[in-house]
Structure 1
């Protein structure tokens, strides 16, 4: 039976989730080195983390590397001979050297044939991680190659998105972790949208502070004036969303409307008018088939955009004919690496290719308007002058993310406390 999601009346989103409260919230979770230390253990070493899509390792033997600083990990993701994507720590079992050279770009594709060879010592590993052979094996006493394969990490795939989990015994399967709201996208044709543009930035802010910028649109009229017409910037007009929804640690926000005001020429760069593409993507996109009902769980009409925020650090923004992915990777309590990817239907003409490139560039500029503010936000929060911040009804996802992070850390801390000490 389909899950029945609540549809609160306008202006009552927060009230419908009373566990979140309605009072001011603290951002202390974003300025504390001690909290971040626990956050790494409680969240980034326990939750399912999206690292890539299946298109990034298309053939057996193709692989990529990924750095997950918050989990103290350097990984190899590889497609094995049976078509399964596997994840291993990029650590040779002999002396701990990287098995393959690390690439710090967001995406890169390399091919290894049918095995990995450590560049330092020549130990050779199969695509399934088994240690196949070593130079001069008679120099080792009682060495059983079967005991020294690459250290594996739990790896699973949903809708073409590749996830890993560093927990020795994950508490949930990937599908259980994602829950019905996210898996309502099972039938979205992600596999048809394979033309990708990506970029990476490093930001002097906590990862949650950056995520907050894409969880509410209250700030849009004030910050993004280039793209917002005066009737929306006027006091009292605002920018409201049509639907908010929570499911476990995950969140979604959907906007309604045809976005006609975004397509008005006077609020565009000249290149957008010339190419008929920009902030909302190409004005016309190929028919990619029927879209799943889970894409618009609130049933708002006319539907515009849905932003699925998958805890802890993945966002999938779907515009119907194309989609956008953001990932946030903490590098310290007040810095993170920010990755962005736009996915389109493969261009059929030169004009379509130009439309895609223009959209990717304009979207990057729009996102960096937010990014440019957040180093200052982080610095101001760290002065620790104020610890109570009011959030409005359209900021329910901000409230939810910070509560979820605190709840996961609190649960972890409780587990680490001896039973007698809890009394």
Structure 2
């Protein structure tokens, strides 16, 4: 896209002052008690990204999704009626997990313990000597979890009272549906475990203030000229969600093979109409833990799942439409994934150093500047929910 001016103008601080300017308390980034309230009030009551439609392309296709924050293993399956559903990966007989495989395709699911067998719609089909249980089959179906889709992405919600997904996403639902991820038929994925709080991990990817110092070699496309810190061109907020438009360096310091990798992927993108999609330089952050970037050459999502107060897991996916068409196209895709992974690897150690420093208790507060507004917005949204939940529970933070 060419709509980002080459002359950078910093977003005025007064335009972001409504988010607050005070120091932010550090305890929410390492305290187990705060994490437990956060788990209850944020993650068990929000729409959480877990998969993509292309992972369950035909009836019987399934994936297993383990979510530590919910203490749950989920079975996501496309039924014979073509509907995609989510169930707890738990046999209602004695609680045995049904599926060990990460993914596959099958017409039914049998518990390995006592062979209770379920259809792809979760209904109990058969169970040995079932008459001895004095219960109806209809009361022994797999336990379902709310699952909805937008822009090809699948989200689950453990709260029956939460609004539907599209209401939750608000105006960003339409934007999501216009991003390359909505057309994806496959993806490349890598994940990483990190010894850091999920917010501290997520925040690293919400601000560019660090690019100049941590990524001088790999961040050439995002810093330089009159924007030495790679600050965003614009920011926006929609309820608990937020966005920023990534500034594009008009004269990036790219090596010849980097330019070649980018250019070799351009013709297929043009043929698929992906170069003309809006929001190509936009970063969309969906509360609480997902963000996407829609650039056609590297459309990717990054989800940060909490594990404990000081541990989290990041899952990064780069999405593609169609299979590799030739060796050059394959090279462009592989390089795209490698480039993102290399950049993220440069962040991990620094995030963990931050976690170690905060967990020491030496600091009671830390500081966000105006161009770290997305970090402050996330903290505000999380903390407001935690504080409200604590009041209802009679807890004192």
Task: Supply the distance in 1 between the matched residues of 2:74 and 2:45 (Cα, whole angstroms).
Answer: 16
Gaps of 5+ in 1: 1-8, 104-108, 297-303
Counterpart of 2:305? 329
The CA deviation at 1:234 is: 9.4
SS of structure 2 residue aligned to 1:227: coil
CA offsets, 1:347-394, max 9 Å, x none?
221210111011111210111111121111101111111123222221
Is this contact kept in 2: 1:31–1:381, CA < 8 A?
Answer: yes
The CA deviation at 1:305 is: 2.0
Q: Compared with structure 1, are the counterparts of its residues 338 and 185 closer, same or farther at alpha carbon in structure 2 (3 Å cutoff)?
A: closer
Task: Supply the distance in 2 between the matched residues of 1:213 and 1:386 (Cα, whole angstroms).
Answer: 19
CA offsets, 1:14-46, max 9 Å, x none?
533444212222232111100000111101110
Q: Compared with structure 1, are the counterparts of its residues 28 and 350 closer, same or farther at alpha carbon in structure 2 (3 Å cutoff)?
A: same
Counterpart of 1:222? 213
Q: Compared with structure 1, are the counterparts of its residues 75 and 229 closer, same or farther at alpha carbon in structure 2 (3 Å cutoff)?
A: closer
Q: Compared with structure 1, are the counterparts of its residues 179 and 144 closer, same or farther at alpha carbon in structure 2 (3 Å cutoff)?
A: same
| Number of residue pairs matched by the alignment | 387
The CA deviation at 1:87 is: 0.4
TM-score (norm 2): 0.90
CA offsets, 1:269-312, max 9 Å, x none?
x7536x5249xx9466522327788x44xxxxxxx621111111
Counterpart of 2:127? 134
CA offsets, 1:95-116, max 9 Å, x none?
100011153xxxxx30112x21
Q: Compared with structure 1, are the counterparts of its residues 226 and 12 closer, same or farther at alpha carbon in structure 2 (3 Å cutoff)?
A: closer
Gaps of 5+ in 2: 1-7
Does residue 111 of structure 1 match 2:96?
no
Counterpart of 1:163? 155
Equivalent residue for 1:417, pick from 383, 391, 394: 394
Counterpart of 1:38? 37
Q: Compared with structure 1, are the counterparts of its residues 12 and 277 closer, same or farther at alpha carbon in structure 2 (3 Å cutoff)?
A: closer
Task: Supply the distance in 1 between the matched residues of 2:209 and 2:300 (Cα, whole angstroms).
Answer: 21
CA offsets, 1:130-173, max 9 Å, x none?
11110112332x22111111111011111111111001x23211
SS of structure 2 residue aligned to 1:261: coil
Task: Supply the distance in 1 between the matched residues of 2:297 and 2:81 (Cα, whole angstroms).
Answer: 32
SS of structure 2 residue aligned to 1:59: coil
Superposed CA RMSD: 2.7
Counterpart of 1:390? 367
TM-score (norm 1): 0.85
Q: Compared with structure 1, are the counterparts of its residues 199 and 241 closer, same or farther at alpha carbon in structure 2 (3 Å cutoff)?
A: same
Does residue 353 of structure 1 match 2:330?
yes
Counterpart of 2:339? 362
The CA deviation at 1:209 is: 0.6
Equivalent residue for 1:148, pick from 140, 148, 163: 140
Counterpart of 1:342? 318
The CA deviation at 1:403 is: 1.1
Task: Supply the distance in 1 between the matched residues of 2:33 and 2:142 (Cα, whole angstroms).
Answer: 32
Is this contact kept in 2: 1:65–1:77, CA < 8 A?
Answer: yes
Q: Compared with structure 1, are the counterparts of its residues 251 and 48 closer, same or farther at alpha carbon in structure 2 (3 Å cutoff)?
A: same
**Between 316-325 and 398-407, the greater mean CA deviation after superposition:** 316-325
Q: Compared with structure 1, are the counterparts of its residues 231 and 101 closer, same or farther at alpha carbon in structure 2 (3 Å cutoff)?
A: closer
Does residue 249 of structure 1 match 2:248?
no
